[in-house]
Structure 1
Amino acid sequence: MYLADEAWPDLETYFEAESLAIVPLGSTEQHGPHLPEGTDHLIAEAFAREAAERTGYLCTPTITVGVSPHHRQFHGTMWADAPAFRDYVESLTRNLTYHGIDRVVYVNAHGGNVVHLREVGRRLRDAGDAYAIEWMWDESIPDLIEDAFAQPGPHGGPKETSLIQYLHPELVHDERLADARDGGLVDWENHPEAVQNGARTFYDAIDNTDNGVLGDQTDASAETGERLFEAATTQLVELCEWLATREFEALLPKDHV
């Protein structure tokens, strides 16, 4: 069920019967010369809408701008400052609790959002208002990604490229895949300048990659994207079903020893 498509009287029975909502979040930021700036939020929305379709749980509209100042040097990147992002997501989630939701899955597709969503979840849980957890698609299927790509790359690489080739092929510049690889950083894991004596030395994507992306984009395909999408959607559906069956009190912080 997609909240924005429903008339308000038709939502009453959902809130009477269910207490879980799915909230997709991503970013609007550079994803190299070959992918759209909406890559992350398009991926998040696709997973959230599909999981909602398969389970019947409520999916909210997508939060399309995230914490992305580390991509700001590239044209068109948008971002929210971290405190504003956290406050906004917390406020939106409290909107849901007003209607009776007490557990939320943040379907997130942007790494820059992770720590902030975890912080929002802690705030809500500590207050006893809701149990909200962050889910990121690629972290749910690491073995499949490792098998699929020699150099998956954490940003704009073949895993995201494959998903967009599958979900929105008209938005992918396939003729630029080699340029994306050759103008970016292929082997992120062995990049010698990213860490110095145990300290992470960079702040922005452009410090490591001239065109903003990592990994080998020429390894991507729509067929692989479909496999990734189906596998991760299964993981998300199972997470929602697991969370929906928990007793709410058991999800709250334990008492002091």
Structure 2
Amino acid sequence: MYIADQTWPELRESLADESVALVPLGSTEQHGPHLPLATDHLIAEALATAAAEETGAVRTPTVTVGVSPHHRQFPGTMWVDAPEFRDYVESFTRHLTYHGIDRVVYVNAHGGNVQHLREVGRRLHEDGEAYAIEWMWDESIPDLVDDLFEHNGPHAGPKETAMITHIAPELVRDGQFENARDDGLVDLESADTMVHGARTFYDSVDNSANGAFGDPTDVTPEKAERLFEAAADQLVQLTEWLRARDSEELLPKDRVE
């Protein structure tokens, strides 16, 4: 159920029996020459929508701008500072509890958000306000991602290309696939910015001139559908697992005596 499409009398009834909310979060940032800046938040929203429709959980509006300063050199990239991002997400999550929601899945599709969402979840858990967990779609199906693509790349590679191919194929510039591969960085481990075990880079452009990592040329609609359906199924299972938990299980444990 998408909460913003409902009226308040409708929500008065439906929220009375629901404890779980799915909050999609992504970014608005460069994704190479072949994918739109909306890539991350489109993926998060599509997965959250699919899981909400399957489980009946509440889906909130999407957070479309995340923590992305490491992509700032590419035109159009937007970002918010990390403390403000954390405070914003924490604030609206606390206010969800006012309506009876006490379990939240941050349906995340942007790596730059991960540590900050986990920190917000820790804060909420620590004071017993809510149980909120961060879920990153590709981390839920790592074996499948590795099986489907030889050179995944952490950003704007085949896995994200496949997801947008399934969700919004009209936004994919497939004529730029070879350019994304050849002028980007296919294998991050081969980058010369790792020196004696230290990461000497801070920004995406330090490693990839066009912002792409990996090889998107072997993406097909069939692989794209398989990837999306597998990730959506993992989110459905997580939502149902969370809903089935007794509230006492989710509260912080007492001090060990």
- Please give the range of the TM-score, normalised by the shorter of the 2 chains: over 0.9
Instruction: Classify the secondary structure of the residue corresponding to 2:106.
Output: strand
Q: Retained in 2: the 8 A contact 1:163–1:222? A: no
What is the deviation of 1:49? 0.3
5+ unaligned residues in a row in structure 1: which ranges?
none
Aligned twin of 2:33: 33
Root mean square deviation of aligned Cα: 0.8
Aligned twin of 2:251: 252
1:59 and 1:164 map into 2 onto residues whose CA distance is: 20
1:212 and 1:110 map into 2 onto residues whose CA distance is: 15
Cα deviation, 1:67-97, whole Å, max 9, x if unaligned, reads 0000000000000100000000001101101
Runs of 4+ with >4 A deviation: none
1:62 and 1:244 map into 2 onto residues whose CA distance is: 21
Q: Report whether the alignment pairs 1:197 with 2:230.
A: no
Amino acid paired to 2:116: H
* Segment drifting more, 6-15 vs 101-110: 6-15
1:240 and 1:183 map into 2 onto residues whose CA distance is: 40
* Segment drifting more, 183-192 vs 116-125: 183-192
Q: Report whether the alignment pairs 1:237 with 2:236.
A: yes
Give the 5 Å matches for 1:11-50: 11-50=11-50
Q: Retained in 2: the 8 A contact 1:161–1:221? A: no
What is the deviation of 1:16? 1.1
Aligned twin of 1:53: 53
What is the deviation of 1:6? 0.3
5+ unaligned residues in a row in structure 2: which ranges?
none
2:151 and 2:32 map into 1 onto residues whose CA distance is: 16
Instruction: Classify the secondary structure of the residue corresponding to 1:189.
Output: helix
2:253 and 2:144 map into 1 onto residues whose CA distance is: 35
2:47 and 2:107 map into 1 onto residues whose CA distance is: 7
1:163 and 1:222 map into 2 onto residues whose CA distance is: 9
Instruction: Classify the secondary structure of the residue corresponding to 1:22.
Output: strand
Cα deviation, 1:11-61, whole Å, max 9, x if unaligned, reads 112221111100000000000000000000000000000000011111001
Amino acid paired to 2:143: D
Cα deviation, 1:188-208, whole Å, max 9, x if unaligned, reads 133242x32332221100000
TM-score (norm 1): 0.98
1:13 and 1:112 map into 2 onto residues whose CA distance is: 37
Amino acid paired to 1:47: L
Aligned twin of 1:172: 172
Aligned residue pairs, count: 256
**Sequence identity percentage:** 68
